[in-house]
Amino acid sequence: NTLKNNNIKLEELNILITAYKEENILEIYAKNKSDSIYKKIASYNIAAKSGILGPKRMEGDLQVPEGFYYIDRFNPASSYYLSLGINYPNESDKKKSNAKRLGGDIFIHGNNVTIGCLPMTDDKIKEIYLYALYSKDNGQNRIPVYIFPFKMNEENINHYQKYYNKSIINFWENIKKGYNIFQNTKKELIIKTDSNGNYIF
């Protein structure tokens, strides 16, 4: 029904996922394949937290990544009921970290426990997983997943920059550009990474 109400056909479905760590929210945007503009169709509470605000930079830091990712694997037999893997570490993470091991295995999954993942409880992950599966079957090979520390308005930026170091604030200023473009256009971002690991939009 959610799709029908937004004039989106199941056999045309493409999705895009955004997540906000501080607000504990994961949002699903959807469109027909032939459309370019996404509409928000669902919003879910993330069931548990791990780590603090700021990007993931090494294995074992308990951090949930921040930045621009996509779903790169579907795991129907996850120990967390169902799970969708994201492509952490991406190019930006690899360039920005000097850790020997960056870690991996970051998932959107069921259940309500986590180390560095986005747990969604079993009933919610079922919905999210199905949206993703239909989109993949419709030929969407890279379902975008944009993970932000918080809603990146000026007020929040001004508030949080008092508590974090310069390199995190610079990183946030960088991903805020992508945040603003997506908020203004509701289109999938076209992203490159420069030699320092900064995102270019």
Which pLDDT tens digit goes with each residue over 106-156?
A: 999 999 888 899 999 999 999 999 999 999 999 999 999 999 999 999 999
- Which residue among 71, 117, 132, 147 is the active-site one? 117
Distances from the Cα of 124 to the Cα of 51, 78, 131, angstroms: 22, 15, 11
Is 159 part of the annotated catalytic residue set?
no
Q: Where do the domains of the chain lie?
A: 2-200
- 2-200 under CATH 2.40.440.10, yes or no: yes
- Which residue among 57, 109, 124, 136 is the active-site one? 109
pLDDT at residue 79 in the model: 87
Which pLDDT tens digit goes with each residue over 5-62?
A: 999 999 999 999 999 999 999 999 999 999 999 999 999 999 999 999 999 999 999 9
pLDDT at residue 127 in the model: 95
The alpha carbon dihedral of 148, 150, 155, 161 has a sign of: negative
Is 117 part of the annotated catalytic residue set?
yes
Which pLDDT tens digit goes with each residue over 66-118?
A: 999 999 999 998 888 999 999 999 999 999 999 999 999 999 999 988 889 99
| pLDDT tier for residue 194 given thresholds of 50, 70 and 90 | very high
